[in-house]
Chain A
Amino acid sequence: MTKKTISRRDFLKTAAAASGGIFVFGFLNPERGVASAQDKTLLSFGQTWDAAFRPVQEEFDANWLAEHPDVEIEAVYSTWADHNNTVPVWAAAGTLPDIIYVHGSRVAPWAAEGIITSIQSFVDADPEFEVEGIWEEALRLYRVDGELVGIPYDHGPLILGYNKDLFDAAGMEYPDETWTMDMLREAAIALSDPDNLQWGWSGELDLGAGGAGAFLGGWGGVTMNEDETEMALDTPEARAALEWWYNLIHVDGAGPSQAQAEGGFGDVNGPWLQGRTAMAVVPSWETPGLARDAAFAWDVAPWPEGPVKRETGSFGSGFSITSSSVAREAAWSYMREYLSTEGMSTVWGSTGRGSPAREAAYQSWMDSADAPEGAGYYLDALKEYAVTGGPFQTLAAPEVLDILTRQAELLRLAEVSVDDAVNTIMAEATEALEALES
């Protein structure tokens, strides 16, 4: 039997052919994105919906396209966690979509960088859009230098969620609108059994833009002043609030320390999701997830009243037209319907996603299958006592938020005292703010 012989020439020929073939194959299938047909405007929409929600979006798009046959929509999907990283990258090369999702915390930095620009002119020329039907607190997030740079689509307050099963087992009354912080504390202590890994309170302490209102507002404390030029945490009111929440966890033992709260999901709300915590903060945007994940009966109640007043925080997200867009007219004609009362109701009111940014669209959410029974309390909060807390306007906001979050984490771990935490925050955040001016 003769051995198979491969001459060098043959080998080189096959290798070259193979490599060349693959190379050419790669080139011949560049599979560029959607190319616009001759007479149609191309509208690209950068979103972050998860796979389960995309059909809803596609249905809306299909209906909209039926009314606007001269436009073609290109859906550009990123993941929610990475969207804030891909947008600057795309912006640098000028390949941003026409419309993008913009989280409330990104409005100021992206506007300052010129990624998103004012759409006030569109809004002013379009009274039918009824921009005044959108919560003022929500619009505030998207206003830069007095002009709107985006339109919010949802705006959610933080209110109290509770585990009905645990309350029933202890024979206690559910929280309601009469509750004060002291009552919350009493109930939390009564429902705590740390040895059996059960707690009355989730042990959260959130000083972010949504959380500061909830955790400090009831005592009259704020993190920053109105125009976000100075830190305002070093007040007796704010300290009192922080002490109160700190003691609830570490002195009363009514909430897990962060060490105990790790639920095996990298999520500090582990015990709440597992049904081991009687009460927690439940912003409106967490209700759809809870509806599907919770293996216990739950509902929501108004955020309890603090010693000074009843106040909670709120925050939201929206959409903007990018400055590099060449289809601004088409983009606005899309957004005005996407974010109209009907649009909001269809896309995320009735799908149960969370509180729409328009009061008129609220009923659709409250009627949806996933909404908790107490969904109306979110509406009350928005109307009466929810405040969009800072920082979100100053360009140092991301840094200040990180500083606040880090110290809050250490407080939850009892690694620092309230005094030290406040002093550190004041020092570091003031430094960050001053660095802005230089």
Chain B
Amino acid sequence: MNLPFFNGKPLSRARREERIFYLFVTPWLIGLVFFWGGPILAALGLSFTDWSGVNFSDIKLIGFDNYHKMFADDLFWQSVTNTVFYAVGSVFLGTIFALFLAVLLNQNIPGIAFFRSVFYLPSVTAGVAIALVWTWILNPVVGLLNFGLGLIGIDGPGWLQSPQWVLPALIIMSLFRIGPNMIILLAGLQDIPQSLYEAAEIDGAARWAKFRNITLPMLSPALFFVLVVSTVGSFQIFVEIRIMTEGGPGTSSFVLVWYLWQQAFVYLRMGYASAVAFILFIVVMILVGIQFWIGSRLVYYES
């Protein structure tokens, strides 16, 4: 963009736009510099030390030792595979489920406000209550899920008590928290002009065709957001692990943030934990970058 030199004459539109841009993002930039940038740089720096997280006087630079140690640790790699497995499952299933519910709840059904509130409810209920209820639901012997499976003749597995089934159990549980995503997709659906659907109906389009050619493209900005945010969120799953499995049975539900937390606050290895956090950060940034690249081709914005 060729901008005219500022020399006292009225500024061109582009230059003015740039000024307004920076004016509008000033709060963000200030926050970045003062509240978040510093700690992030500190964390990055700490990843090259052996700091325990307690005494400043004890910081010792150890170069890339933390990273070497990390890549040699089997538990780290297991955390990686567990996290990836969980992320793929929960993003895929969760987005479909959220979309399904959003479409369902976009209609004029009696009690629509009630239903929307109900599906959003678990996201705002105390985590303890959710954890306890789900421990019961997933109980292999007396739980609701295996009871239901038994009704259709399936012998349900051990879920949270089985090293093979604990991650699927957590994925199922994550479906409980799709409330926010559902709301976002719902808001996106609200934005789609009715006239488009009517025009399609006049042309004789079937329901699936309408969905594919109108709903999905018009919804794609919101859908894109949900995918990105779900991906980021699923890689960062932590609270459920802390309350329900603590990484078990054995290490079968060890996920990266749990691994990181143990290292930081239980074993007092903040430097090492910072290194893990950075690897996690880089991996997810790459994934999100890929998503943005794909998004630039597939997401339809009205601009």
User: Is A55 close to B, CB under 8 A?
Assistant: no
Cβ of A398 and Cβ of B250 under 8 Å apart? no
Name the contact of A413 in the complex, choosing from B244, B249, B267 (C-beta under 8 A). Answer: B249
Cβ of A113 and Cβ of B54 under 8 Å apart? yes
Cβ of A266 and Cβ of B132 under 8 Å apart? yes
CB distance from B179 to the nearest CB of A (A): 22
User: Is B289 close to A, CB under 8 A?
Assistant: no
Which residues does chain B contribute within 8 Å of A262, judged by CB atoms? 135, 139-141, 160-161
Interface size on B, residues (CB 8 A): 33
Complex CA–CA separation, A407 to B248 (angstroms): 10
Complex CA–CA separation, A299 to B6 (angstroms): 88
Cβ of A91 and Cβ of B250 under 8 Å apart? no
Chain A minimum-CB-distance residue to B69: A435
A113-B54, A415-B163 are known contacts. Are A259 and B266 too (CB-CB below 8 A)?
no
A109-B268, A264-B142, A266-B132 are known contacts. Are A409 and B52 too (CB-CB below 8 A)?
no
User: Is B296 close to A, CB under 8 A?
Assistant: no
User: Is A410 close to B, CB under 8 A?
Assistant: yes
User: Is B131 close to A, CB under 8 A?
Assistant: yes
Q: In residues 401-419 of chain A, which contact B (Cβ within 8 Å)?
A: 402, 406-407, 409-410, 413, 415-416
Complex CA–CA separation, A222 to B247 (angstroms): 26
Chain A minimum-CB-distance residue to B242: A81
Cβ of B140 and Cβ of A398 under 8 Å apart? no
Cβ of B266 and Cβ of A266 under 8 Å apart? no
Cβ of A259 and Cβ of B162 under 8 Å apart? yes
Complex CA–CA separation, A115 to B265 (angstroms): 14
Cβ of B250 and Cβ of A84 under 8 Å apart? no
Which residues does chain B contribute within 8 Å of A340, judged by CB atoms? none
Cβ of A260 and Cβ of B141 under 8 Å apart? yes
Cβ of A113 and Cβ of B52 under 8 Å apart? yes
Cβ of B141 and Cβ of A113 under 8 Å apart? no
Complex CA–CA separation, A91 to B52 (angstroms): 11
Q: With contacts defined as CB atoms under 8 Å apart, how many contacts are there between chain A and chain B in the complex? A: 84
Chain A minimum-CB-distance residue to B264: A88
Name the contact of A259 in the complex, choosing from B136, B158, B247, B250 (C-beta under 8 A). Answer: B158
Interface size on A, residues (CB 8 A): 29
User: Is A133 close to B, CB under 8 A?
Assistant: no
User: Is B251 close to A, CB under 8 A?
Assistant: yes
User: Is B53 close to A, CB under 8 A?
Assistant: yes
Interface centre among A91, A114, A409 (most CB of B within 10 A): A409
Which residues does chain B contribute within 8 Å of A259, judged by CB atoms? 140-141, 158, 161-162
User: Is B55 close to A, CB under 8 A?
Assistant: yes
Cβ of B160 and Cβ of A88 under 8 Å apart? no
A259-B141, A262-B160, A406-B250 are known contacts. Are A92 and B266 too (CB-CB below 8 A)?
no
Which residues does chain A contribute within 8 Å of B174, judged by CB atoms? none
Which residues does chain B contribute within 8 Å of A5, judged by CB atoms? none
Which residues does chain B contribute within 8 Å of A409, judged by CB atoms? 248-250
User: Is A223 close to B, CB under 8 A?
Assistant: no
A264-B136, A265-B132, A409-B248 are known contacts. Are A197 and B142 too (CB-CB below 8 A)?
yes
Cβ of B262 and Cβ of A402 under 8 Å apart? yes
User: Is A234 close to B, CB under 8 A?
Assistant: no
User: Is B11 close to A, CB under 8 A?
Assistant: no
Q: In residues 383-411 of chain A, which contact B (Cβ within 8 Å)?
A: 398-399, 402, 406-407, 409-410
Cβ of B131 and Cβ of A258 under 8 Å apart? no
User: Is A85 close to B, CB under 8 A?
Assistant: yes
Chain A minimum-CB-distance residue to B266: A398
Q: In residues 44-94 of chain A, which contact B (Cβ within 8 Å)?
A: 84-85, 88-89, 91-92
Cβ of B158 and Cβ of A413 under 8 Å apart? yes
CB distance from A8 to the nearest CB of B (A): 15
CB distance from A48 to the nearest CB of B (A): 15
A266-B243, A407-B250, A413-B161 are known contacts. Are A88 and B265 too (CB-CB below 8 A)?
yes
Cβ of B141 and Cβ of A266 under 8 Å apart? no
Cβ of B140 and Cβ of A260 under 8 Å apart? yes
Name the contact of A264 in the complex, choosing from B135, B158, B250 (C-beta under 8 A). Answer: B135
Which residues does chain A contribute within 8 Å of B249, judged by CB atoms? 258, 406, 409-410, 413, 415
Which residues does chain B contribute within 8 Å of A406, judged by CB atoms? 247-251
Contact with B along A253-272 (1 / 0, CB 8 A): 00001111010111000000
CB distance from A367 to the nearest CB of B (A): 35
Chain A minimum-CB-distance residue to B158: A259
Q: In residues 100-151 of chain A, which contact B (Cβ within 8 Å)?
A: 109, 113-115
CB distance from B302 to the nearest CB of A (A): 27
A264-B136, A406-B248, A409-B248 are known contacts. Are A114 and B162 too (CB-CB below 8 A)?
no
CB distance from A371 to the nearest CB of B (A): 29
Complex CA–CA separation, A197 to B250 (angstroms): 25
CB distance from A117 to the nearest CB of B (A): 12
Cβ of B162 and Cβ of A399 under 8 Å apart? no
Chain A minimum-CB-distance residue to B55: A114
Cβ of B139 and Cβ of A88 under 8 Å apart? no
Complex CA–CA separation, A85 to B238 (angstroms): 15
Complex CA–CA separation, A315 to B243 (angstroms): 23
Cβ of B54 and Cβ of A114 under 8 Å apart? yes
Which residues does chain A contribute within 8 Å of B266, judged by CB atoms? 84, 398, 402
Which residues does chain A contribute within 8 Å of B163, judged by CB atoms? 410, 413, 415
Chain B minimum-CB-distance residue to A399: B267
Cβ of B53 and Cβ of A92 under 8 Å apart? yes
Complex CA–CA separation, A212 to B58 (angstroms): 34
Q: In residues 115-146 of chain B, which contact A (Cβ within 8 Å)?
A: 131-132, 135-136, 139-143
| Known contacts A92-B56, A266-B135, then 14 further A-B pairs from the complex at CB < 8 Å, ordered by chain A residue | A88-B268, A91-B53, A91-B55, A92-B53, A197-B141, A257-B161, A259-B161, A260-B141, A262-B139, A262-B141, A264-B135, A264-B139, A409-B250, A413-B158
User: B residues touching A (Cβ–Cβ < 8 Å)?
Assistant: 52-56, 58, 131-132, 135-136, 139-143, 158, 160-163, 243-244, 247-251, 262, 265-268, 270
Show 14 residue pairs from A and B whose CB-CB distance is below 8 angstroms, ordered by the A residue: A88-B270, A91-B53, A109-B268, A197-B141, A259-B141, A259-B162, A262-B161, A265-B132, A398-B266, A406-B247, A410-B249, A410-B250, A413-B163, A416-B250
The 6 nearest A-B residue pairs measured at CB: A264-B136, A259-B161, A113-B54, A259-B158, A259-B140, A266-B135
